[in-house]
Every structure is written in structure tokens, then in C-alpha cells.
Structure 1
Amino acid sequence: MKIKLVIGITLFFLSAGLRASTLPLDSILTKTMNAAEKYNELIESYQAELYTRTYVETLKKNILYKYTHLIPRFILHDPSSKEVLIETFGTLKYDFPNNYIHNIKYVTGTMTRKRDLEMIPFNFFNINVYGENTNDESFFMPLRVTTRKYYTYRLVRSHSENDKTYYTIDFTPVFNNQKLLKGSFVIEAGTWRVIHFRGEGIDIFADFSFEINMGDKWITNYLPVDFIVYQTTSYLGNRVASRYLANIEYKDIRLRQDIKPLHSLNISDFYKLRLDSVPVYNDSAFWITHRPIPLQEKEKDVAREFRLQQQIKQAQQAEKDTSNVMKAQQFAQRMVMDSEYSYKSTRIGYGGLFNP
């Protein structure tokens, strides 16, 4: 039943797009937005593995930079280093309409405390391009009839590949607002599904942009598989650039049997991030197996430098511990062993505190 439902939807949009190459922009938008309304309610639930990687570089800093950590939940950075590298691996569970549970199981990198992980913008990794807005209602998305009034659109490219036609459409907000994005999306004619989505916006202290690639296999055609987020934060003469990567591998996808308009007050939508007792797991073999996006050379350098610094700290700590043990032994000996001291013609004997 579920397979027939998806095939029926796909055939409907394919039949509507036989003459797609001659369609004007308004017709393309109408078909795309009608399809988006149906694709938005296509998935009942899924379970997936989610890998993320964070790279942060401090581009400019002054004397005030070292006090940044005093501002709670402001920006992810390392006061003692110019660069930060963090990798996480966990599971992502989704239930219709917009309920997400992200459970981080393993973490490695240069900053692995819970408060550091909470600074990663995981909310970008559950953006639904077919929705009216994002799950946390931060942005109005441009692919729905209800939000079309907030954007202007421009067809910038039309091309064919493997007997399929694709349209690239730019969108810009009609007025400046933090809830409105600027960017572009690529549409596949016939199915009118999104192939690629790019958005950018501004926050109080930061500029950001993000890109989403949709899947190319069976039902993942309608789900995101790759994310990349760029963020640059400027404050008080300091500048910090961040890049966040994510890859989703779906394990169990269930389709909705009945696609009907959902009348809801939107009180059940949530995104939950589980960070309790996340183990730091530095096994390189594990991360080679579970890392779908290879490390760049600069990231490898950051990891090597961090491991070297950790080894130096461990060696220094071991030396300090050994020194403390020797001092303790000497103190214990003085407490129980006999000792003699000479001063000129005088000899003084001491039998220890516990052996007077």
C-alpha cells in the first residue's frame, strides 16, 4: 500500500511535467509548491545514523577574546587554541509531524565537554525543505504557497542531464527579516522534488549559510542526506569562522498510509538532543569506519597536534605524580626511620615521630 502510494505520487508529477522544458517560472513554482505540500507529509517515521563534524578557526582576536568563554552559550571556541575539531556519531529518530530525537553516542576531538557540544547548531540538521518553516520556527521556508508572499523568485538556469530536466531558482526576501532566507534550490522536472537547497541569513552577531543535498536512492529522494553549515561570528573586534558537516544514513523508513491535511496547534513538535554520559571515544579504527566524510588535511593537522599536546600533558602529569610519590616516601621515611645530624662537635639523633 505504501509503495503504491509513493509510485502514484511520482507518476502524477511525472505526467504533469512532460512539457517541463517549456514551462515559465510561475508554472514551475506552482508545481513545485504543490509537490512540496505532499512530500512534507510523506514520511511517517524513520531511524538513522547521524555523523557530524565541527571545525572552528579563530581568524582575528584581541585582548577581549580570552573573556569570551564567560558569556554562556555564545560561541564555540577554544581559548587556548586557534582551532577546534569535534566529531560525533549517534542516532536520529523522527516521528510525524516534526518530532526529532538526536542521541549522541560517541564523541572525539579537541573539545568534548557537554557544554561544548551544546554549542553545535544541531538544529540545522533537521531542516525540512518542504515545510512551511523550520522545526524551531527560526525561518520561513520558500517552497510553500503560504510563505511564497515573503519571497521573490528568479529562474537562473535550466539544464538537462540523463534525460531529466533541472531548474535552478534563486529566492530573495521581499524585506529584511531574520526569519527570511536568501538562496537557491534545484528542482527536478516531473517529480518536482528538491535536489539541492542553499540558504543564507544573518543573526545578531553572525552570518551563516547552509546547503542540503537530498538523496538519490528510492525514498531518500525526498529526504536530506548531506548538510554543510558555514557560520562567521564577529564581535568586539574578534572573528571566528565555523564549518559544520553532517551525513545521515537511513536505516528504517516508514511511509504514511493516508496523506491528509493535519489540523494541529503545533504543540507536539520538538527536537530533543541527548547528551547524557556521552563517552569520549578516540579509537581511530572506529572513526575510520563510521566517518563518511574524510578529514581534510588541515583537520588532520589539528587532530595530530591535539594528540601530541595530550601526550605531553600526560607525560608531565606522570612525572609530577612520580615526584609526588617520591616526596611522600621521603616524608614517610622521616616519620619512622632513625636519623642522625651533626653540628660542629654535637651529634643529634632522631628516631622518627612514630619511633621516638
Structure 2
Amino acid sequence: MSAAEKYNGLVENYTADVYMRTYVETLKKNFLFKYTHLVPRFVLHDPKSDEALIETLSTLSFTYPNNYLQDIKNVTGTLTGKKDIDMIPFYLLNINVYGETTNTESFFMPVRFSTARYYTYHLRQMQFENNKTYYTVEFNPIYSNQKLLKGHFVIESGTWRIVHFSAEGVESFSNFSFEITMGNTWITNYLPVHFVIYHTANYLGNVVASRHLASMNYNNVVLRVNEKKEKILNISDFFRVRLDSVPVNNDSVFWAQNRAIPLQAREVEVIRNYEKTNQQKPTEEKVDISQQNGKRVQQFAQRMVMDSRYKIKSTMIGYSGLLNPLMLGYSSIDGVTYRQKLSFNFDLKRS
């Protein structure tokens, strides 16, 4: 825990390219599911499909002590609306495993002396690999609270840095868990490079699960110069996702080159089904238009050859039709005749 206090303020600033992919699956739904979209920022879901996929590329900038700015650069997938992108948990990417709390103060982290009184610890495993010893420490909250987590972390003997951190917690109507893997180069040893986030929402008989995968590639990391420790006020904490408009980019070649985590088989199928559905939509629209035009022609033809009636307020108007074959007649005197009938029926008010 002494090492955690030192590593907490190790980095002065950095920028990183972030690739994040979100897979959403509706596991259970009832008649109330169709009203989910009416509740703002409630559950990320696709009201038209049981599965959805979103990919984003962004730039994350950090400045000590807790200032984060994430610019969304490219978006693709089956859900690309701004309200959908806003519900992706980008805020979890700024978790500092060495901090006392998360940036939003949503959770108390378990590796500091100041928060250790809220947890119990147990050495689960000791492993020797590549001439190094690794310890897996399990932690559990001493009582149930939404600000406390449970899980485990792996620390490296000697440096006492965290190489892997896994935790789970509970929010209103949902459960979540996340896994953080730290880097293995000298500059990323104390920074996260991979995230796996699971979230399951259970509400009113509906169950929606999502999985978020993220990879971070650091471009510029500046370490802090040892200075006298200063009191950090919460007013300096800042996190913002900048997304003025959704930068949709559906270029498959671009994503094949910039996708840091390969698509899984199920995700490929979701994209194919989505593209197939979109290709069918213009055809279906054309069919609908042709059907509507056909109905109009049919209605016009019926009005031309059949009796039709129209009601205007209290007046009923009847017309035999312009080319009604029933209006044809023949007599030896007049020969072939064609009649047309126009009738009016008035409802007169009684005095």
C-alpha cells in the first residue's frame, strides 16, 4: 500500500489512442421493454434488435491530478445515435487502481491505507513466472455498500506494482464487473492498457447484458518530478467526453486497419445481419411504394367502374362511375345507350 501511494502520482500527463467495442444483448424482455427508450440514460439497448454492436476510436488526454478529456473521433456499428454513445461507460477507463477513490468518487479502491478499513484481504495464490513472484490478493467489503467493491488484484514482488485488477459491484437495477490489465513496458508498467467491462441491467422482468472491450495505446507519457505532496481538492477532478456530433465512419477498410481487438465470430454475424437488413430496407420501401401505388390505381379504377359514395357533413353524394358497365343499355329504338347517375341525399333538420 505504500507503493500504491507512490505510484498514484507518478504520471504528470499523457495522451492515448483508445479503441473500445461494445456488444449488447437482450436476454429477456416483456411488453414493458418497448418503453425502455423513454427513460433517458437508463439502459443501453437496441429497441429493434436483441443484439447490437458499437465501435469507437477516441483520444484520451490526462493531466495530473485527475483531469481527463476524451474526444470521440470515429464511430461505427449498429447503434450510432448520440444518446447511445453517451451511455458507453467511458468513465471507467480513467480508473486509477492506485487511487483512494475513482475519479467520480463512485467507489473506494482497496489498495490504500485510508480505504483498507473497509475491506478484508486474503492471499489466494502465489505464482513464480519469468524469475518473478506474483501474489494474488483477494479483497471483500466488510459490509454491503454500493461504493465498495469485491474482487482480487495481482501484484509483482519487488516493485509491488499491480499487474492485473479485477472487481465487481452493484448499482441500482444492475450488476457490473471490470478487469484491468496493466502494461508490460517500462513506460506503461503503471498504466492500464486493456479493459474488459461487463454490465447486466435487470428491471421489471427485462434483462439486458453488455460487454465493453477497450485497448489503450499511449503516445506521450510525461512522469512527474518528485515534489512535496500537496493537498488535492476534489474541485480539480474533471472528466468529460467530447461528442458534439457523432462522427460516424462505416469504412470497413479503415476499421480493419485500426481495430485493436479482432471481432469475435458472434460480433461479425451481428454486423452481417445489420448490413443485410439495411440492404433490404430500400427494396422493402420500393415494394411498399409500389404496393401503395397499386392500391391507389386499384381504388381509382374501382371508382371509375363502380358505384361510389361520398359524405360531406350531412350530405351523401352517390356517383355511378365514369365507365360503369352496368350503366350500358340497348334498345331497338335508341340503340346502345350509356347512362350516368348522380344522387344527393340531404338530412334536413326538423323544426
Shorter-chain TM range is: 0.7 to 0.9
Q: Does 1:61 align with 2:43?
A: no
From 54, 63, 83, the counterpart of 1:95: 63
From 310, 316, 322, the counterpart of 2:284: 316
After superposition, residues 30-109 of structure 1 pair within 5 angstroms as 33-109=1-77
Structure 1 segments unaligned to the other structure (5+ residues) = 1-32, 327-340, 347-356
CA distance in 2, matches of 1:267, 1:122: 21
SS at match of 2:114: helix
Q: How far off its partner does 1:142 sit?
A: 0.5
Greater fraction of residues in helix: 1
Q: Does 1:182 align with 2:145?
A: no
When the two chains are superposed, the root-mean-square deviation of aligned CA atoms in Å is 2.2
After superposition, residues 1-356 of structure 1 pair within 5 angstroms as 33-317=1-285
Counterpart code for 1:82: D
CA distance in 1, matches of 2:141, 2:34: 37
Counterpart code for 1:262: E
Q: How far off its partner does 1:196 sit?
A: 0.2
Task: Tell whether the 8 Å contact from 2:72 to 2:247 is kept in structure 1 after alignment.
Answer: no
Partner in structure 1 of residue 347 of structure 2: none
Q: How far off its partner does 1:104 sit?
A: 0.5
Counterpart code for 1:51: Y
SS at match of 1:313: helix
Structure (1 or 2) with the larger CA radius of gyration: 2
The CA deviation string for residues 104-123 of structure 1, in whole angstroms up to 9 with x for no partner, is 11100111000011111111
Counterpart code for 2:170: I
CA distance in 2, matches of 1:274, 1:106: 12
The CA deviation string for residues 73-103 of structure 1, in whole angstroms up to 9 with x for no partner, is 1100111100010000010000000100010
TM-score after normalising by structure 1? 0.81
* CA spacing shift, 1:240–1:342, aligned 2, 3 Å: closer
SS at match of 2:107: coil
CA distance in 2, matches of 1:277, 1:322: 36
Counterpart code for 1:290: N
CA distance in 2, matches of 1:36, 1:342: 92
Q: How far off its partner does 1:289 sit?
A: 1.0
Q: How far off its partner does 1:258 sit?
A: 2.5
CA distance in 2, matches of 1:151, 1:197: 15
CA distance in 2, matches of 1:342, 1:170: 88
CA distance in 1, matches of 2:291, 2:245: 33
The CA deviation string for residues 111-150 of structure 1, in whole angstroms up to 9 with x for no partner, is 1000011111111111100000000000000011111111
Partner in structure 2 of residue 14 of structure 1: none
Counterpart code for 2:270: V
Q: % of aligned pairs identical?
A: 57
CA distance in 1, matches of 2:228, 2:259: 38
CA distance in 1, matches of 2:30, 2:290: 39
Task: Tell whether the 8 Å contact from 1:38 to 1:259 is kept in structure 2 after alignment.
Answer: no
* CA spacing shift, 1:325–1:255, aligned 2, 3 Å: farther
* Greater displacement, 262-271 / 315-324: 315-324
CA distance in 2, matches of 1:41, 1:93: 16
CA distance in 1, matches of 2:292, 2:247: 30
Aligned length: 304
SS at match of 1:57: strand
CA distance in 2, matches of 1:98, 1:38: 15
CA distance in 2, matches of 1:298, 1:222: 33
Task: Tell whether the 8 Å contact from 1:226 to 1:248 is kept in structure 2 after alignment.
Answer: yes
TM-score after normalising by structure 2? 0.82
**Bigger relative CO (Cα 8 Å, ≥ 6 apart):** 1
Partner in structure 1 of residue 299 of structure 2: none
Counterpart code for 1:39: Y
